[in-house]
Amino acid sequence: MKEKNDIYRWGGEMKKVRMGIIGAGLRGGLAHYWHKPGGESEVVAIADISDERIAKFQEKYDTPLFQTNDYKELLKRDDIDAIAVLSPDYLHEEHVIAALEAGKHVYSEKPLAITVEGCDRIIDTWQNSGKHLMVGFNMRYMSMYQTMKELIDSGAIGELKTIWVRHFVGFGGYFYYHDWHGKSENTTSLLLQKGSHDLDVIHWISGKYATKVSAFGSLDYYGGDKPNDLTCPECELKNTCPEYVAHTFTECAFREEIDVEDNNMLIMELEGGIKASYLQCHFTPDYNRNYTFIGTEGRIENDDVNGKVYLKTRKTNTWKEFSDVTYEMKKEEGSHGGADPKITQDFIDLILHDKKPLTTPFAGRMSVAVGCAATESIRAGGKVVRISQVSSIVHS
């Protein structure tokens, strides 16, 4: 093994990161950006419980991968330097901790875990591992939200006071109620799975973490009285059901076991007294995220459908009040608006060059903390819940 390993190092320093992937499902497509056999990273192994998914994953690569149904087999291999955890949410804690304990660098899809305690166990393991851990908040890498952050940081709207976020999840049924996402035991709630991105962006752009939250939500459209083993292809109502899907995710969206709210409304107070709201609905006809940031000298709002950011100014007795500005986002290559190629490269740069990425494990923990607190508030009738922070964890 020594001779093989030597080709990946110069003078003891790693020159290529060899990646093992846990999870060959939809998010497994992210691995494509790490596979650069002639560059600084290469995918060399895949683990998934499904042979069919593994086979489809291998078809996309021109080199043979080590394949296994047991992720622990990846962790035993010394020809794997880093692990990408792209498995379902409820497995993140187990997979991330095991990989860190095995001496691997880890990229974890969001959410970091489905409980705050799980996040804290991950972070404790990471801090004692001597390895790198990165969370997959790819919205931080989208040009639209980077533009909004830089404008706010520049003082374009004065002092930030209020944040409004509306998330219209037009494909909510397809992505979240036809499979494991619809059960709270697997997700806690969709405020973690889907909302963790938005809660993180609120924290990141404002530079402040939420301190308390009150929320309301309910399951108003999905779920119902259908058998838990019913699938769309075998349903007698498939020709008239608005939620019928023929492939990929086929569990009935109206089955009895579904217990995750399909619409939520949160109000938050952040550090420094900034107020924020987050609204999420999974049965809207369209799909978009609308962010509005209001400051003492103006506001910024996005239009992610048309790729625009609007800066509106108010009277300040300065030159700023004389004009409004529209920023048009340039088209970028790659999935998620060009964010996925950037975030995957940042993970490699973190390992090889110790370049700090835009995301942090603590940020991953705090988006989960808000999601969990909001879920607790919803299920307790809207009570105010304070967000737990752990002083032993470095806020970086």
Q: CA 229, CA 196: separation in Å to the nearest integer?
A: 29
In this predicted structure, the answer to whether residue 393 has a pLDDT above a threshold of 70 is: no
3-class SS of residue 74: helix
Total number of residues shown for the chain:
396
Q: CA 221, CA 178: separation in Å to the nearest integer?
A: 13
Among 219, 226, 283, 281, which Cα is nearest to 257's? 226
In this predicted structure, the answer to whether residue 2 has a pLDDT above a threshold of 80 is: no
Token pair recorded at residue 355: 């370049």
Cβ-contact 327, 311 below 8 angstroms: yes
Structural domains for the chain? 2-137 (3.40.50.720), 139-222+258-386 (3.30.360.10)
Count Cβ atoms within 10 A of the Cβ of residue 322 and give its class: 0-12 exposed, 13-18 middle, 19 or more buried: exposed
In this structure, the strands spanning 210-218 and 263-270 are: antiparallel
Q: CA 161, CA 280: separation in Å to the nearest integer?
A: 21
Q: Give percent above pLDDT 70 in the chain.
A: 95
pLDDT digit string, tens, across residues 59-114: 999 899 999 999 999 999 999 999 999 999 999 999 999 999 999 999 999 999 99
Q: Which DSSP letter does residue 330 get?
A: P
pLDDT digit string, tens, across residues 228-284: 999 999 999 999 999 998 887 889 999 999 999 999 999 999 999 999 999 999 999
Task: List CB contacts of 115: < 8 A, sequence separation 6 or more.
Answer: 93, 188, 368, 372
Q: CA 122, CA 208: separation in Å to the nearest integer?
A: 22
pTM: 0.93
